[in-house]
């Protein structure tokens, strides 16, 4: 029997076990929406296409599955771009489907035509324009394969309207042939052996754990490695949760706003084992001052990350779970007692700290949230000071509990990503930590959350300004503040109520502590507007051009 390409597309999604898609309809994608009538796949109507992309992203981060979003041609497609770029930077598996004008009109500046495959070349792992109706199933199969294997990322399929309405015989391929795509999964045995030797010879090893651990589901192997060789573990923003936050070997985040002891440990170590981390400039700061005395072992599935920013001694290209599995038997138990004593000393000497006096402190809010949240709660942040405080003060026992826009640093990520996260993990508490700036970038998605009856727990760290930029202006522009103070301030509690949530405003520590257990336990959606100290800075902070162990504190 013949079916339309649009129907075939939906059948392909069913074959890929897609349970829900996030999207926003329009003319060019009409046939696909029509085909949604005949499926059990649930469509989540967002309020802006950026929200569809971030929601698919949040869903993917929590579930480990491929997130799917849909938009129409032209403005629908361009509205997705921030969301696609965000997923690309953070290596999130996503399939993006856009409608396109009919093939006869492509290239004519037709109504709502944009060259979305051209535009998204730099921000997708790959993309496809469907020209031959019979190729659709193969293309979808390729898209899911590319998105979810190797180093994951977003893949876009642009589907012209006339192609979507053609009829084809549907057959979903079992495998695909991509001659130019062969990710290396197994680490090279001789490299693994050498790594084992370097580690066994080291006296001051440190593990630098990144988002690749979460992607590879390699937390158990990471834990075994750390305990076997008694190496302290520092993590990137993306690696938070990959190593238990209550473990004695846990060092917290490194880098720009990392803990002083993590940065100092990296500076003093003689062996740095980078696992699924990409030596981002937020982490490394001045290259010559980064782990200057260490032999660096870099385990990453993407060969292009190796040696890109920092010179390393030993590369191992492969999947971290696989590589760590091969490495562990090569290692023997190590104690490193003097090194661990040094680490304990650093932790005592340079703890995270803030002034607890005065008005409600943003750090206190995240600390208390950390205290009251349950172990499996998912925390989603936006971008700014609140994000860094959450990364510094919150602890997780497992990965996929902390979602944040790291590589792109896209304000507006939080609310839609929380929508996606909650839909991906309906039985878990989803807490958002968001700034009063960032919430206003995508707050229309409160409508999506209300429609889907999602009991999100939204905590706005309201400093009535763009706190992170204010901090930058303090440090780099001699406190000349431009365009950082809002002159009009919204009553966020009231905003929450308008969307059917319980809305509260808290101004003191006591109010917060009284409210927290109650709102976190409540089955209702809640928005808590926390009026926090507008003068607080995120510290420690490594200034431009400094070494990571020279942070201002």
Ligand X SMILES: Cc1cc2nc3c(=O)[nH]c(=O)nc-3n(C[C@H](O)[C@H](O)[C@H](O)COP(=O)(O)OP(=O)(O)OC[C@H]3O[C@@H](n4cnc5c(N)ncnc54)[C@H](O)[C@@H]3O)c2cc1C
Ligand Y SMILES: Cc1ncc(C[n+]2csc(CCOP(=O)(O)OP(=O)(O)O)c2C)c(N)n1
Pick what 435 binds: ligand X, other proteins, ligand Y, none; C-beta below 5 to 8 Å, kind-dependent: ligand Y
Applying the rule CB under 6 A, the residues between 313 and 372 that interact with ligand Y are none
The three-state (H, E, C) secondary structure of 287-314, written as one string:
HHHCCCCCEEEEEECCHHHCCCCCCCCE
Kindly give, in sequence order, each residue whose CB lies less than 8 Å from that of residue 18, ignoring residues fewer than 6 positions away.
41, 66, 68
302 binds other proteins (CB under 8 A): yes
60 binds ligand X (CB under 6 A): no
15 vs 309 by CB, closer to ligand X: 309
Residue 435 and residue 428: Cα distance in Å, rounded?
23
Active-site pick, 125, 142, 161, 260? 161
136 binds ligand Y (CB under 6 A): no
Residue 405 and residue 387: Cα distance in Å, rounded?
9
The CA angle 489-446-450, to the nearest 5 degrees, is 135
* φ/ψ (deg, to 5) at 138: -65, -40
How big is the site for ligand Y, counted in residues (CB under 6 A)? 19
Tokens, residue 535: 């003068």
Residue among 73, 79, 91, 448 that touches ligand X (CB under 6 A):
91
280 binds ligand X (CB under 6 A): yes
Q: Residue 342 in contact with residue 268, Cβ under 8 Å?
A: yes
105 binds other proteins (CB under 8 A): no
DSSP code string of 303-358? GGGTTSSS--SEEEES-HHHHHHHHGGG------HHHHHHHHHHHHHS-------S
Active-site pick, 94, 441, 468, 531? 468
Q: Estimate the share of the chain in helix, then strand, then coil, as percent rounded to the nearest 5.
A: 40, 20, 40
In the stretch 444-483, what mask flags binding to ligand Y with x, by CB under 6 A? -----------------x-x--xxxx--------------
87 vs 159 by CB, closer to ligand X: 87
Active-site pick, 7, 16, 22, 49? 49
**Among this protein's residues, is 535 annotated catalytic?**
no
Question: Of all residues in this chain, which one has the CB nearest to ligand X in the complex?
Answer: 211
Residue among 83, 258, 424, 437 that touches ligand Y (CB under 6 A):
437
258 binds ligand X (CB under 6 A): yes
For residue 59, the minimal CB distance to ligand X (Å) is: 17
241 binds ligand X (CB under 6 A): no
**Among this protein's residues, is 111 annotated catalytic?**
yes
Residue among 111, 121, 248, 498 that touches other proteins (CB under 8 A):
121
Listed as own residue / partner, the contacts of 248-253 with beta carbons closer than 8 Å and 24 or more positions apart are: 251/206, 251/343, 251/347, 252/352, 252/392, 253/391, 253/392
Active-site pick, 38, 111, 171, 514? 111
Helix (H/G/I), strand (E/B), else coil: 452? coil
Tokens, residue 521: 């336990």
Pick what 175 binds: ligand X, other proteins, ligand Y, none; C-beta below 5 to 8 Å, kind-dependent: other proteins
Tokens, residue 133: 């109706």
Pick what 319 binds: ligand Y, ligand X, other proteins, none; C-beta below 5 to 8 Å, kind-dependent: ligand X
Residue 283 and residue 309: Cα distance in Å, rounded?
11
Q: Is the peptide bond before 166 cis (omega within 30 degrees of 0)?
A: no
**Among this protein's residues, is 371 annotated catalytic?**
no
Residue among 151, 295, 386, 422 that touches ligand Y (CB under 6 A):
386
Q: Residue 116 in contact with residue 136, Cβ under 8 Å?
A: no
Calculate the CA 363 to chain-centre distance.
21
Kindly give, in sequence order, each residue whose CB lies less than 8 Å from that of residue 135, ignoring residues fewer than 6 positions away.
none
244 vs 467 by CB, closer to ligand Y: 467
**Among this protein's residues, is 49 annotated catalytic?**
yes
Residue 369 and residue 393: Cα distance in Å, rounded?
9
In the stretch 144-183, what mask flags binding to other proteins with x, by CB under 8 A? --x------------------------x-xxxxxxxxx--
Applying the rule CB under 6 A, the residues between 301 and 320 that interact with ligand X are 301-302, 305, 319-320
383 binds ligand Y (CB under 6 A): yes
**Among this protein's residues, is 487 annotated catalytic?**
no
- Interhelix angle 49-63/81-89, rounded to 10 degrees, is 30
211 binds ligand X (CB under 6 A): yes
DSSP code string of 169-238? E----S----TT-----SPPHHHHHHHHHHHHH-SSEEEEE-HHHHHHT-HHHHHHHHHHHT--EEE-TT
Strand-pair partners of 67:
94
380 binds ligand Y (CB under 6 A): no
Piece of 126-134, 267-275, 379-387, 515-523 that binds ligand Y (CB under 6 A): 379-387
How big is the site for ligand X, counted in residues (CB under 6 A)? 35
Active-site pick, 19, 65, 105, 112? 112
Helix (H/G/I), strand (E/B), else coil: 34? helix
Tokens, residue 100: 């396109």
159 vs 411 by CB, closer to ligand Y: 411
Piece of 83-91, 229-237, 432-440, 514-522 that binds ligand Y (CB under 6 A): 432-440
Task: Name the site residues for other proteins (rule: CB under 8 A).
Answer: 117-118, 121-122, 125-126, 129, 131, 138, 146, 171, 173-181, 302-304, 306-308
Give catalytic residue positions.
Answer: 49, 111-112, 161, 468
Interface with ligand X (CB under 6 A): 90-91, 151, 210-212, 215-216, 236-239, 253-258, 276-278, 280, 282-283, 300-302, 305, 319-320, 383, 388, 406-407, 409
């Amino acid at each position: 029997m013949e079916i339309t390409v649009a129907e075939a597309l939906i059948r392909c999604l069913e074959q890929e076990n897609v349970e829900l898609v996030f999207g926003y309809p329009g003319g060019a994608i009409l046939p696909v929406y029509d085909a949604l009538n005949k499926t059990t796949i649930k469509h989540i109507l967002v309020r802006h296409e950026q929200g569809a992309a971030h929601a698919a992203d949040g869903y993917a981060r929590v579930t480990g599955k491929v997130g799917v979003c849909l938009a129409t041609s032209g403005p629908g497609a361009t509205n997705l771009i921030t969301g696609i770029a965000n997923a690309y930077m953070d290596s999130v598996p996503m399939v993006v489907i856009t409608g396109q004008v009919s093939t006869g009109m492509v290239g004519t500046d037709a109504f709502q035509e944009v060259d979305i495959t051209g535009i998204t070349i730099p921000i997708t792992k790959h993309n496809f324009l469907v020209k031959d109706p019979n190729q659709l199933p193969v293309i979808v199969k390729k898209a899911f394969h590319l998105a979810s294997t190797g180093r994951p990322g977003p893949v876009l399929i642009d589907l012209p309207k006339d192609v979507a309405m053609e009829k084809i015989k549907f057959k979903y391929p079992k495998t695909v042939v991509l001659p130019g795509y062969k990710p290396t999964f197994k680490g090279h045995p001789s490299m693994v052996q050498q790594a084992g030797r370097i580690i066994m010879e080291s006296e001051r090893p440190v593990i630098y754990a990144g988002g690749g651990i979460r992607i590879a589901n390699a937390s158990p192997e990471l834990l075994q490695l750390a305990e076997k060789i008694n190496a302290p573990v520092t993590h990137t923003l993306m690696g938070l949760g990959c190593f238990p936050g209550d473990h004695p070997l846990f060092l917290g985040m490194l880098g720009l706003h990392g803990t002083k002891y993590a940065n100092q440990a990296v500076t003093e170590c003689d062996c740095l084992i980078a696992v699924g981390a990409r030596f981002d400039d937020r982490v490394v700061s001045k290259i010559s001052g980064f782990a200057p005395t260490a032999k660096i072992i870099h385990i990453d599935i993407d060969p292009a990350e190796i040696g890109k920013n920092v010179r390393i001694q030993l590369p191992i290209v492969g999947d971290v779970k696989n590589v760590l599995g091969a490495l562990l038997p090569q290692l023997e138990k190590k104690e490193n007692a003097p090194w661990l004593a040094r680490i304990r000393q650093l932790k005592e000497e340079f703890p995270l700290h803030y002034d607890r006096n005065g008005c409600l402190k943003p750090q206190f809010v995240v600390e208390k949230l950390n205290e009251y949240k349950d172990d499996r709660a998912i925390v989603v942040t936006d971008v700014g000071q609140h994000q860094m405080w959450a990364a510094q003060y919150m602890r997780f026992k497992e990965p996929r509990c902390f979602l944040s826009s790291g590589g792109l640093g896209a304000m507006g990520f939080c609310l839609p990503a929380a929508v996606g996260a909650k839909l991906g993990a309906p039985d878990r508490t989803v807490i958002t930590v968001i700034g009063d700036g960032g919430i206003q970038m995508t707050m229309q998605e409160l409508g999506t959350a209300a429609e889907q009856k999602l009991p999100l727990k939204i905590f706005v760290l309201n400093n009535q300004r763009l706190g992170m930029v204010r901090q930058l202006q303090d440090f780099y522009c001699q406190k000349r503040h431009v365009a950082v103070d809002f002159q009009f301030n919204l009553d966020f509690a009231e905003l929450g109520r308008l969307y059917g949530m319980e809305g509260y405003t808290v101004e003191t520590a006591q109010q917060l502590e009284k409210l927290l257990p109650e709102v976190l336990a409540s089955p209702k959606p809640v928005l808590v507007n926390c009026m926090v100290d507008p003068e607080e800075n995120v510290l420690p902070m490594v200034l431009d051009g400094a070494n990571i162990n020279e942070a201002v504190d």
